[in-house]
Amino acid sequence: MADTTVLREGLRFGEGPRQGPDGRLYYSDFYDHEVRAFDLATGEEEVVCAVPGQPSGLGWLPDGRLLVVSMRDRKVLRLEDGGLVEHADLTGIATFHANDMLVDAEGRAYVGNFGFDLHAAIAAGGEASMLEPGWVAPGTPLALVRPDGSVEVAAEDLKFPNGTGLLPDGRLVIAETLAFGLTVFDVADDGTLSGRRVFASLRDHFIAPDGIAVDGDGGVWVAPALQPFVFRVEEGGGITRKVETSQTCFAVAIVGDRLVCCTAPSSQPEVVSQARSGRLEVFEL
């Protein structure tokens, strides 16, 4: 039996959950092409904007303007006076669909991408093919978008850079989904990354980390993408909590004292783009 409570049903595929400046949960629904804001206290929801290119990662500039990743055209868009404008063009860096994003307090955005056509690879060989010894995912860069929209490479050769967070000590931790682990970097004052090292190896636990959320004690809550659980992982790979969800969990956020989980039966577009099986689930921390 799941440990979570279902708050919202009828999604196609929820992703990129974040607590907004107003305290509400913001999230993207890939195949409804919408960014929504959900009030956890009242259950009220509104559509914030429509993103024809398929929305994913979300974040806010210091002045409160929303940034959203437009996946298929590999851009970061900015919400201005109720409309979306281009903030940054990632086509020179992202080698396939742009995806999750972290925006820090300075307005710098770290944006990952698929690196290759993952869904086609799964359709052809199944998820099990990626667990075979010797299989190595294509590497791809992590993009750094400056507050003015200029773009540079933050790190090279990541294996599907996905959920990203900042640890209490200021280091950046990122889920390398197809390396089956979490990677950590030191962050310089100018936002550049260095000192790449393993935060936690998760292959033995069958965890392909997707979305993540960092808590105040430095634990990383990990959506495993292949299992109906969320795991709290500490540096070194220790798992200290395990929360069962009603279906596979692909993304998480901490909103106040609640863990919010985006779940779905699959991540394959042919499965979830037509059905409305996606859910928002919550667990009291």
Provide the 10 A C-beta neighbour count for residue 97. 22
Mean pLDDT of 141-167: 98
pLDDT at 209 over 80: yes
What would the pLDDT profile of 25-43 be if each residue is shown by its tens digit?
999 999 999 999 999 999 9
What pLDDT, in 10s, does the model give residues 70-109?
Answer: 999 999 999 999 899 999 999 999 999 999 999 999 999 9
Query: What's the pLDDT at 23?
Result: 96
pLDDT at 132: 66
Radius of gyration of the CA atoms of the chain, in A:
17
Give, in order, the Cα–Cα distances in Å from 5 to each of 46, 100, 231, 260. 21, 25, 17, 10
CB 160 within 8 A of CB 130: no
Q: Structural domain boundaries of the chain?
A: 5-284
Q: pTM higher than 0.85 for the full model?
A: yes
Q: Which fold has domain 5-284?
A: Neuraminidase (2.120.10)
> Residue 116 above 90 pLDDT?
no
Q: Are 159 and 123 in contact (CB under 8 A)?
A: no
Q: Say if residue 6's pLDDT is above 90.
A: yes
